Structures are given as C-alpha cells and as structure tokens.
Amino acid sequence: MPTSTPNAQLLHLVFGGELVDLNGTEFKDLSKVDMVGLYPNYASAHAAWKAKAQSTVDNAHMRYFVVHLHRLLDPDATAHHD
C-alpha cells in the first residue's frame, strides 16, 4: 500500500464549459470545453476553479469542475488529502 507524505503530489484537473441543462453535466459543445489546467494539490485547483467560475458568472450555464485525478490514478490509496 502506498504511503502518503505531507507534500505528496495529488493531481487535480480543472475544466469547464457551457452546459446543456443546469441540472446535468452534459456540455453544449465539447469543442469549446475550457481545459483550465492540471494542479498539484486541491488548494491550487480550487483557486483556479474559483477564478474561472467568477469570471463567467454572467452566463448561468457555464460551470467549472475540479476532478480529483489522484483518486482515479490510485483508487486503492486510503489517504485522501484534499
């Protein structure tokens, strides 16, 4: 089982775009999905997500997401340091 260190790289992806329906996660146009970036921890990903979300506040159908890639890459890890 992998051991966790305080400064472990915990990859997070931030992306977003215009949704078809506010109650779903289907994008209106996949070619226009905004891939904001890949971040080494949740704090930096959250800051990027917040900036993008605030910059698109005028469009109610725009949504940005943070994906915890480290959980997908190592689903057996017991420690989830977000």
Of residues 59, 73, 65, the one with CA closest to residue 46: 65
pLDDT in tens, 6-53: 567 899 999 999 999 999 999 999 999 999 999 999 999 999 999 999
Taking the C-alpha atoms of residue 52 and residue 32, their distance in angstroms, rounded to an integer, is 15
- Which band of pLDDT confidence, cut at 50, 70 and 90, is reported for residue 72? confident
Structure pTM? 0.79
5 versus 24: the higher-pLDDT residue is: 24
Compute CA 41 distance to the chain's CA centroid, rounded to the nearest angstrom. 11
Q: What phi and psi, each to the nearest 5 degrees, are found at residue 63?
A: -140, 140
> And the tokens for 16?
């977003």
